[in-house]
Structure 1
């Protein structure tokens, strides 16, 4: 009887086990653009440290930071986006961001980063895509996080709707490990008819609908305060840091179909 129960438990474990992580190469993709952050300075041939003009009509969502180039720090093989409780440009905080507008954009493909997120109420790290055309929507949020909810991430696409600037949003709040305790990978597989989100190589959300958004560029930023997670409180640590190990973008060979 005991042996039979052990066999049953083993079968249940197999059925309930997570699928094997997927790599972009498994789907036929090859590396098109990347930054491994191996130098001592941010590569300005790849990145800007401010938003592109005309981001979208929602403005800054009540955020409290001014972005400063010196808050995007490359050291020891990592990019660190640092938020400080120091005023600038009428804002109470400074923080860091990088964006590839006017440097690199791509139409479809696999977009991935490996990152360790900061903890603390009012911290809003994100990895996302905006159209090089500057027309908003669309927007693909590969990962958004609230510093007060350590094991939650949000995976969202905002699509255009006819006759209004307000987007049609399709997203998933996904609960996993403590994303502030260690590094994790976040990626999207973006195709003409769908967007699929992967956390540590495992698909966690998929949105099937028209996704022909034109070329899009990459943004990583650490916002502070605003409408997402509220404003920092007395327990929010400063400086706070979003650590980025790499950013990699993959594409299919010309004429190839995805697997």
Structure 2
């Protein structure tokens, strides 16, 4: 339903999970790639959000804030002519050693260098509250109190329909030069 929920398909790692071959504790403690977040932008349900985030270890403590490269916000919001609620669509992301590439309906919609998103990740589907049923206070997200009558009138409960999910791993990444590097706060 719009406005009110965000159906999402995303990837994340578990912070502090040890990964073979990675330093521990590592500087980047959390990776997230949003393959697509539907109806996330309250001004227009035709905007598809495709982003990535990290959390880093700063001065021996984890930053509470997601860090997102400056050139990510806005540039990975793709405008489509259709309403995502009317039909099935294909949302995809290729997480390569050198770059992250997003696709909607087999069309490349964005790509960025992959400096820090090399940890093993879990696949997630979710439906979360959004405007007007959430608010941010000092960077933390809180639900906006809603009565059952208000929720019913808004269209809750909300659902997301998924036909299938497919994942794969390339057999050979040798054609891609890795962009991986040590965390550098000047990148953001």
Class of the TM-score when normalised by the shorter of the 2 chains? 0.5 to 0.7
Q: TM-score, normalised by structure 1?
A: 0.47
1:137 match: 30
- Cα displacement (A) at 1:249: 0.3
- Cα displacement (A) at 1:194: 1.5
Q: Does 1:156 align with 2:60?
A: no
Q: 1:227 to 1:196 in 2, by over 3 A?
A: farther
Contact 2:97 2:173 in 1 (8 A): no
Q: After superposition, where does 1:54-73 map in structure 2 within 5 Å?
A: none
- Give the counterpart of 2:77 among 168, 173, 180: 173
Contact 2:7 2:125 in 1 (8 A): yes
> Which ranges of structure 2 fall in alignment gaps of 5 or more residues?
18-28, 137-142, 177-188
The C-alpha deviation readout for 1:11-45, integer Å capped at 9, x for no partner, is xxxxxxxxxxxxxxxxxxxxxxxxxxxxxxxxxxx
Aligned Cα root-mean-square deviation (Å): 2.8
Q: 1:137 to 1:255 in 2, by over 3 A?
A: closer
Flag the structure with larger Rg. 1
Number of corresponding residues: 140
- Give the distance between the partners of 1:255 and 1:182, measured in 2 at CA: 34
User: Per residue, is there more strand in 1 or in 2?
Assistant: 1
Contact 1:187 1:198 in 2 (8 A): yes
Contact 1:194 1:211 in 2 (8 A): no
Q: 1:125 to 1:212 in 2, by over 3 A?
A: closer
1:82 match: none
The C-alpha deviation readout for 1:78-136, integer Å capped at 9, x for no partner, is xxxxxxxxxxxxxxxxxxxxxxxxxxxxxxxxxxxxxxxxx232112111111145565
- Cα displacement (A) at 1:257: 3.8
- Cα displacement (A) at 1:162: 5.9
- Give the counterpart of 1:182 among 87, 92, 97: 87
Q: TM-score, normalised by structure 2?
A: 0.63
Q: 1:134 to 1:142 in 2, by over 3 A?
A: farther
Which is bigger in relative contact order (C-alpha 8 A, separation at least 6)?
A: 1
- Give the counterpart of 1:240 among 158, 173, 184: 158
1:215 match: 120
1:123 match: 5
